[in-house]
Structure 1
């Protein structure tokens, strides 16, 4: 999917009338500020620099995805192919605007991103999640279940050892293998 292409993924119903249409796109450099603002509005996500978000929207646009509703960014997933594991997509962050949370936007974005990635050589998804991030745990365990594949977990970065007590543990989730 090119940056200018889009895919209608969900029409939401309100009082039995289909109203809202969310589209998925590859991010573009012009999305950097909006991505930064979205992540800022999605605690407990770690805030990245504006420059980092610009790089995610350029260098990593093929492994990232945005969700748009009425010309407004309402979702963003950043990811990259792990350098020492070319068959693994690492999902860095999943951000979903409060206005569409609980409506399956995160799962839609992640499913489309995996569909794109598995057409290449990706067979696994990895991410890290803090132990208390219930939304992320639900999203990733749900993806593993819906795709009928396994999920393994192990602590990757420890609060005291790697974060000097200033950040919660980060648990590595590995989902897959996915069939192409």
Structure 2
């Protein structure tokens, strides 16, 4: 389940990180999105902040295709790692990123990045205390090979 952010936060992501984020549409309907950026402290890394796929599009590989789309872009030509954080009960996201690492034939390292205590009294979308966030680090990989395989 996605953490809810302000409209302003999503507008900023679209404005500042359009080269590393993607929106998928079917007709005039939003089918999915990924917001991502390259952290200044890790120039060889793209950090995937959020992945969302509409219910009708789930289980069809849309999230994986969107990840490939981001990595094929010129803004990611220097990227060798993909980082993201996932809650420990988010089985769909864990499967997505572990599966993506397997498709890239590379490692997927996992370690706790943010303990649940760091979120204080902030509740998750379902009203439960916020879970810890597990860092998934996928790589190394070669984005040039990813671009070539897509052509």
TM-score for both structures, normalised by structure 2: 0.86
What 5-or-longer segments of structure 1 have no aligned partner?
1-43
CA RMSD of aligned residues (A): 1.3
Bigger relative contact order, structure 1 or 2, given CA contacts below 8 A and separation 6+?
2
- Counterpart of 1:115 in structure 2 is 72
Runs of 4+ in 1 over 3 A off after TM superposition: none
Q: How big is each residue's C-alpha offset from its partner over 1:78-113, in whole Å with a ceiling of 9 and x where there is no partner? A: 000011011100000000001111111111101111
What 5-or-longer segments of structure 2 have no aligned partner?
122-128, 145-151
- Counterpart of 2:2 in structure 1 is 45
In structure 1, C-alpha distance between the alignment counterparts of 2:87 and 2:71, rounded to whole Å: 22
Count of paired positions:
136
Is 2:43 aligned against 1:86? yes
User: Structure 1 or 2: larger strand share?
Assistant: 1
Aligned to 1:103, what secondary structure does the other structure show?
Answer: coil
Which of 155, 164, 169 lines up with 2:112 in the alignment? Answer: 155
In structure 1, C-alpha distance between the alignment counterparts of 2:110 and 2:76, rounded to whole Å: 25
In structure 1, C-alpha distance between the alignment counterparts of 2:59 and 2:114, rounded to whole Å: 29
Aligned to 1:107, what secondary structure does the other structure show?
Answer: helix
| Greater gyration radius | 1
Please say if residues 80 and 90 of structure 1, whose CA atoms lie closer than 8 Å, have aligned partners that are also in contact: yes
